[in-house]
Structure 1
Amino acid sequence: MLNISYINDLHIDHWVKWNPSQEKYKVRVQKFIQDLIDRSNIENKEVMIIAGDISHFNFINKWVLEVFNKQFEKTLVVTGNHDYYLISKNQKRKYKNSSMYRAIEMAEIVENLSNVVYFHSVYGTGAFSYKDKVFAGVTMTSLPETDEEKSFYQNIMNDSKYITSSPESYNSFDITVYNYLKELNIDVFISHYPLVRTYSHNKHLNDGSLGSYLCRVDEMVAPINFFGHVHEENQLYEIVGTKHYTNALGYPMEGLGSIIRQVEIQ
């Protein structure tokens, strides 16, 4: 048996008020994460899964992952859409107006955290084996296809303002990795975008939002899946012999009251 703890959509910079003193801000961010872990009452800290959207800044992501790095045997992370965001002129200048450069920096940060594994399509098609289970992950960016979906992305989604390059390029990277993983014996797959329709999707079937909130695939590569991107629900979906878990912390105003959840797999 393997204990997997999981959460997604932390959005830490919405929860912890900015402080001009970076050291004081770091203390607050790491205390917030430690408090979240403590109130979740996790008995066996084996694998921790974070299914994307940690924050808008890599230095905050680093502080968050430093805590999980110490608390869990292994922490597995994928990039969420907000982890691609370049929300300021300074960020755009730093990353040469490329969200992919921000992802590259995240990979470099994680190299210094011995118990953290970062899955990203730009780094190829690797899988990670731990305690007889094979894990893999990638963002699985949605692809707006219809005119209505493209209009929703351009006019409604902040992604169109803060993520450089088109969703087509990110989706292409992700699907290439996903198709390769079909050849491997993956036990657990982690994505940010869901691979299945969720309850919240059903509320918006005719507004074009599916093209920004669902990644369409023709088959599942793993029997157990973890995803993020939807905030309104903390659910398990069972679809054609596969399980899909999501557990959003979300934004403070949503009042979800989430804690880190845990599931035991054989």
Structure 2
Amino acid sequence: MKIDIISDTHFDLHLDKDSLENTEEFLQKVFIKTGSNVLIIAGDLGHFNSQNIAILKLIKELYEYKYIICILGNHDYYLIDKIQEKQYERDSFKRAEEMRELINAEDGMYCLDGDVVEIDGIRFGGCSSWYDGSYFHRTSSSYGRNVITFWKQTMNDAKMIKGIEDFYDMFKIQREKLDVIYQQCDIIITHVNPSIYDKDMPPSKRDDKMNAFYSFCGDEWLDNTTAKYWIYGHNHVSYEYKRDRVSVICNALGYPAQLKDFKIRTVEI
């Protein structure tokens, strides 16, 4: 099976959220017909659910994917303005649930949330996952609430995600979902890098306390998973590392300025 990989599409940052005009032109800069039946999107689709589903349907049609498998990222929980706050009653989880329902209602599309889907004998497991602050603790003498203060000072997540006290709330939810899937799949998909070690970071991201919010200490899952591939996003890079027999891959599109350097990544299993 050939599988294409992308994450961090951020559709509304590349396109007008209220129109599909220029969408096909944009997609031509991102996708090519690789002959893959499956496309994996490892989170951060965009800030508007209606736009996200419309573009996913178009991708599936134009690039002849039989299946699209997604998980949600941190931006897929954002309520970015007063209109969205009212629409979803200041509850980011309502927006995320709506996005999953829209995707899962489409034939051949799956938005995984602590579950596994099997396609042609290959089992795909996924969840958003979340960062846990561990990198900050590993590299700093500051502990406890100081990392929360740092989070509130540096991350839009602290302002845009409604319904949580801090990032630990999200991590607790997501670790339970990882527990369910990590020994049940051949390919695991999360939004966040499952390693806090600099050797597993892109060179440009090493020795940076911000990795506290771009990684989690996933040793217990990564070292014992049945998966051959672990696909993640969040870091706007193309990068791969190995953990024993597991290939861990990020292939993020990112923001408009990063579009020119993007190439779709294909793996075979």
Give the structure-2-normalised TM-score: 0.85
Q: Which residues of 2 match residues 65-214 of structure 1 at below 5 A? A: 65-70=56-61, 71-120=64-113, 125-144=114-133, 146=143, 147-164=145-162, 165=164, 166-184=166-184, 186-196=185-195, 197-199=200-202, 200-204=204-208, 207=209, 209-214=210-215
Question: What code does the residue aligned with 1:156 have?
Answer: T
Kindly state the Cα deviation for residue 114 of structure 1 after the two structures are TM-superposed: 0.4
Task: State the distance in 2 between where 1:108 and 1:32 align.
Answer: 26
Contact 2:131 2:167 survives alignment (8 Å): yes
Task: State the distance in 2 between where 1:61 and 1:87 align.
Answer: 15
Kindly state the Cα deviation for residue 183 of structure 1 after the two structures are TM-superposed: 4.4
Question: What code does the residue aligned with 1:115 have?
Answer: G
Counterpart in the other structure of 2:263:
259
Task: State the distance in 2 between where 1:111 and 1:255 align.
Answer: 28
Contact 1:69 1:114 survives alignment (8 Å): no
Contact 1:189 1:224 survives alignment (8 Å): yes
Counterpart in the other structure of 2:6:
7
Kindly state the Cα deviation for residue 69 of structure 1 after the two structures are TM-superposed: 3.0
Counterpart in the other structure of 1:29:
23
Kindly state the Cα deviation for residue 255 of structure 1 after the two structures are TM-superposed: 5.4
1:61 aligned onto 2:52: yes
Structure 1 residues 9-50: Cα deviation after superposition (integer angstroms, max 9, x where no partner):
1112111245xxx3xx1233354225522xx3x331311000
SS at match of 2:70: strand
Q: Percent identity?
A: 26
Counterpart in the other structure of 2:139:
none
Task: State the distance in 2 between where 1:141 and 1:237 align.
Answer: 19
Gapped runs of 5+ residues in structure 2?
Answer: 135-142
Task: State the distance in 2 between where 1:182 and 1:6 align.
Answer: 19
Gapped runs of 5+ residues in structure 1?
Answer: none
